[in-house]
Amino acid sequence: MKAVTWQGKRDITVEEVPDPVIQEPTDAIIKITSSGICGSDLHLYEVFGPFMGKGNILGHEPMGIVQEVGSKVTNIKVGDRVVIPFNISCGKCFMCLQGLQSQCETTQVRDQGTGCALFGFSKLYGEVPGGQAEFLRVPHADYGPIIVPEGPSDDRFVYLSDVLPTAWQAVQYAHIPEGGSVAVFGLGPIGDMATRIAKHLGAGTVIGIDLVPERLARAEAHGVTVLNTNELSDEDLVDAVKQLTDGRGVDAVIDAVGLEAHASPMGKFAQTAAGVLPDTAAAKVFKNAGIDRLDALYHAIDVVRRGGTISIVGVYAGMMDPMPMNTLFDKQIQLRMGQANVKRWIDDILPLLTDDDPLGVDGFATHHMSLDDAPHAYEIFQKKEDGAIKIVLQP
């Protein structure tokens, strides 16, 4: 089959690789029909090199048709239309039973000290082959796959794998009071969707912050008040948010940017160092140092009101990132974060994927491209060229 593979920093190729086969009775094989490219894939593309293996198959936002099931898989059958969550979780353990599927104790990657295994996601998360391919082996298919109805196009459902539950969890963790205010940093797919969900769930003031004109315009078109960090000094940004919130700051902030934030010179050196060191050394630096660019998170701390909540959905990876503990403590800021627990939120989201389309999923993708175009797709998504905000690959 064809698959999108990681070959090195900013080096993605489409290769012919062996078709996946059933290995465990709880496996299934899915024929992929659509597979998203995520901001998290860009971390693998750019900075997570020390944890990638040459030839790793990328992708964790797939959907498709069940091709084959193992003997213990009874919840889905050949021919079903399914979306595959990016978490690989068992559904039976202590963590899964309380809706913390991203911490699944059956699939936790213990040799790396990380949470549940993820599709297409580096050695840190189990190095499981991903879904930007023609076929995908799905471990724990007796729990993971989400059956979706026939009829609407894939775009209606594909975001159940990651974007929708991730943005939904970000909003839930933000604890926005009814009619209250939220500022969302980063208007990529996750932040954009978080603004839509926040409005849908009753937020009064929704502020979107980014620096890419098309992304700001798209959020604005959905009724979000937008601020461009490229056009505002740090102080002006804080002032602008305060002006929109009775001088107080927002009730909640969602940080949908993560470790590769633009603009802060801090952390850049260590991050670059991690990129050029020999692999084992780089992996050590990566795990033991504060390598993240914290620009968005620092701004989040500035614009949240006293007693407010910061919900961090963007990925961070440094062990010792410097944090202004005095301000966090003094402002009594609540922090919540983590990898999305995909299955935890599906029952809340599925009823919204109707012809009325309250979250605007049908027109959410800016690009549909073939697997063969994946190298170009990664490039324009990372460089934010050609209006690329969400790209869905279709084998």
Ligand X SMILES: NC(=O)c1ccc[n+]([C@@H]2O[C@H](COP(=O)([O-])OP(=O)(O)OC[C@H]3O[C@@H](n4cnc5c(N)ncnc54)[C@H](O)[C@@H]3O)[C@@H](O)[C@H]2O)c1
Window 145 to 174, contacts with ligand X (CB under 6 A): 162, 166
User: Which region, left, alpha or beta, applies to residue 55 given φ > 0 means left and ψ of -120 to 50 means alpha?
Assistant: left
- Told to check if 40 binds ligand X by CB under 6 A, we report yes
Token pair recorded at residue 13: 């190729």
C-alpha closest to that of 59 among 33, 96, 27: 33
- CB-CB contact of 266 with 293 (8 Å): yes
- Told to check if 210 binds ligand X by CB under 6 A, we report yes
Q: Would you tell me how many other CB atoms lie within 10 Å of the CB of residue 75?
A: 15
Token pair recorded at residue 254: 């969602």
Q: How far is the CB of 215 from ligand X (least distance, A)?
A: 5
- Over its C-alpha atoms, the chain yields an Rg (Å, rounded) of 20
- Told to check if 263 binds ligand X by CB under 6 A, we report yes
Secondary structure (3-state) at 298: helix
Name which of 207 and 254 has its Cβ closer to Zn ion.
254
- Told to check if 42 binds ligand X by CB under 6 A, we report yes
Binding partner of residue 252 among Zn ion, ligand X, none, CB cut-off 5 to 8 Å per kind: none
Q: How far is CA 320 from CA 176, 291, 292, 317, in A?
A: 29, 8, 9, 9
Q: How far is the CB of 211 from ligand X (least distance, A)?
A: 5
C-alpha closest to that of 308 among 343, 289, 332: 332
Identify which range of 70-78, 204-212, 276-284, 358-366 contacts ligand X by CB under 6 A. 204-212
Q: How far is the CB of 298 from ligand X (least distance, A)?
A: 9
- CB-CB contact of 31 with 1 (8 Å): no
Residue owning tokens 């802060």? 264
- Told to check if 118 binds ligand X by CB under 6 A, we report no
Binding partner of residue 85 among Zn ion, ligand X, none, CB cut-off 5 to 8 Å per kind: none
| Residue type (1 letter), 337 | M
Q: How far is the CB of 143 from Zn ion (least distance, A)?
A: 8
C-alpha closest to that of 85 among 176, 22, 148: 148
Q: Which of 22, 29, 63, 90 binds Zn ion (CB under 5 A)?
A: 90
Q: How far is the CB of 309 from ligand X (least distance, A)?
A: 16
- CB-CB contact of 124 with 112 (8 Å): yes
Task: Count CA atoms within 13 Å of residue 205 on its CB side.
Answer: 16
Name which of 139 and 189 has its Cβ closer to ligand X.
189
- Told to check if 224 binds ligand X by CB under 6 A, we report no
- Told to check if 187 binds ligand X by CB under 6 A, we report yes
Name which of 229 and 339 has its Cβ closer to Zn ion.
339
Q: How far is the CB of 231 from ligand X (least distance, A)?
A: 12
Q: How far is the CB of 29 from Zn ion (least distance, A)?
A: 22
Q: Would you tell me how many other CB atoms lie within 10 Å of the CB of residue 225?
A: 17
- Told to check if 189 binds ligand X by CB under 6 A, we report yes
- CB-CB contact of 80 with 109 (8 Å): no
- Told to check if 162 binds Zn ion by CB under 5 A, we report yes
- Told to check if 85 binds ligand X by CB under 6 A, we report no
> Residues 251, 253, 258, CA angle at the centre, nearest 5°?
170
Token pair recorded at residue 267: 């952390």
Q: How far is the CB of 208 from ligand X (least distance, A)?
A: 9
- Told to check if 296 binds ligand X by CB under 6 A, we report yes
Binding partner of residue 318 among Zn ion, ligand X, none, CB cut-off 5 to 8 Å per kind: none
- Told to check if 27 binds ligand X by CB under 6 A, we report no
Binding site for ligand X (CB under 6 A): 38-40, 42-43, 162, 166, 185-191, 209-212, 215, 229, 256-258, 261-263, 295-296, 313-315, 339-340
